[in-house]
Amino acid sequence: MPILPGRKVKTKRDYTGDPDEFRLTLVEHLEELRDRIIRAVVYLVVGWVIGWVLFPYLYEYMTQVIDRAIVPNLPKGTKYIEVVLNVTDLFMLKFRLSLTIGLVIVFPFLVNEVWGFVAPALKQNEQLPVKRLAPLSLFLFALGAGFCWLIIPSAISWFVSFSDSFPGIDITQTAGSMIYFILKMMLAFGIGFQLPLVVYALGAVGLLSAEVLVQYWRQAATVIFVAAAIITPSNDAFSMLMMAIPMVILFLLSVYFVRLTQRKKERLAAAEEAAYVIEPTPEDDEPIQPEATDEEAMNRRGRSE
């Protein structure tokens, strides 16, 4: 393809692992950020299409799970029905639910784009522990979403049990609202379970130490409970505790792994320091004779004559 006059050709530089040799200009940073945002949007669109295709099957299955959690726990004579207030709500319901399903599916790819943007700012010895976060992030996200799915039926049954205090009241809600609530809860739990990775990454690059984390563990636990209260879409104490307690346990595990990483760094630093120590040779042990002055040299020459 011919190059037009005045047109700049963008060349891709390979990352060598050293951020000092890979310094980008402000324009290059913005171009890199733009490209990754575009890819993230493409991932989200693809996930939305997949969610649109899977929507009928997931909607039927999740509706059955919700009915099994609600109907048996209703007082005698209480009805539970779902309604649609407007004709346009049907399309918007499918759009929102399929988009949320797609976001849950492509979330690991979005995390990978974030890692790709941050990687050039880290040195090569800092990248190795952080690189392990990508598969671990997928595992923790699936763990959080799966844990949420396990406790959701019990949570719904617990909420429905309060209907005994209101006899003669039927439960009527918009169609799909419970499914949307469950998907948001699963997404919130998956994101919340990423907190240990953030702590470990900060410790791996040297911004946090295990000693500081242990010293301020009470403050960290308080922050975790506040974050759980903000992240959970239901804003109830039950959901907050179900998220905060596992997050505190994962936080303590991340402190343990930060300590292991620090010990490994200390051993490597000690080995590198020992490699640079120069051992003295026998010649180095001999005393250094001072240079003779001109007067001493003339006296020696006179004695020799």
| Residue keyed to tokens 């960290």 | 220
* Contacts by residues 156-164 (CB-CB < 8 Å, ≥ 24 positions apart): 156/66, 156/69, 156/70, 157/69, 157/70, 157/73, 158/238, 160/69, 160/70, 160/73, 160/74, 161/73, 163/73, 163/74, 163/75, 163/78, 164/75
* Mean local confidence (pLDDT), 218-237: 76
Q: Is residue 10 part of a domain?
A: no
With 0-12 CB in 10 A as exposed, 13-18 as middle and 19+ as buried, what is 243? Answer: buried
| Mean pLDDT calculated for residue range 186-193 | 83
Question: Quick check: 181 pLDDT over 60?
Answer: yes
In a domain, 263, yes or no: yes
Long-range Cβ contacts of 218-222 (<8 Å, 24+ apart): 220/251, 221/248, 221/251
Mean pLDDT for the stretch of residues 252-271: 76
Confidence label for 42 from pLDDT (cuts 50, 70 and 90) = very high
Establish if 290 belongs to a structural domain.
no
Q: What is the pLDDT of residue 257?
A: 77
Task: Specify if 252 maps to a domain.
Answer: yes
- Among 7-11, 111-115, 285-289, top mean pLDDT goes to 111-115
Average pLDDT value over all residues in the chain? 75
Tell me whether residue 137 is exposed, middle or buried, using C-beta atoms within 10 angstroms of its C-beta: 0 to 12, 13 to 18, 19 or more.
buried
Asked if residue 284 has pLDDT above 70, the reply is no
pLDDT, average across residues 23-38: 76
C-alpha–C-alpha distance, residues 238 and 256, integer Å: 28
Cα–Cα distance between 48 and 63 in angstroms, integer? 20
Q: Mean pLDDT across the stretch 258-282?
A: 68
pLDDT at 162: 81
Alpha carbon distance 89, 144 (integer Å)? 30
Alpha helices (H) in the chain, listed in sequence order: 26-70, 88-118, 124-131, 133-160, 177-192, 195-204, 210-215, 217-231, 237-275, 282-285, 294-304
Question: How many structural domains is the chain composed of?
Answer: 1
20 residue type, one letter: D
Strands 171-174 and 80-83: parallel
**What is the pLDDT confidence band of residue 10, given thresholds at 50, 70 and 90?**
very low
Identify the pLDDT of residue 233: 67
Structural domain of 72? 20-273
| Residue 4 located in a structural domain | no
The helix/strand/coil state of 193 is coil
Give pTM, 2 decimals: 0.65
90-99, 114-123, 253-262, 284-293: least confidently modelled range: 284-293
- Is 229 inside any structural domain? yes
More confident residue, 27 or 147: 147
In a domain, 299, yes or no: no
pLDDT > 60? residue 21:
no
Mean pLDDT, residues 183-192: 83
Residue 1 within any structural domain of the chain: no
Share of the chain above pLDDT 70, in %: 73
Backbone angles phi, psi at 143, to 5 degrees: -65, -45
Rounded mean pLDDT, 61-83: 84
Q: Looking at residues 61-90, what average pLDDT do you find?
A: 84
Residue, of 241 and 40, whose pLDDT is higher: 40
Of 47-61, 74-88, 136-150, 230-244, the one with minimum mean pLDDT is: 230-244
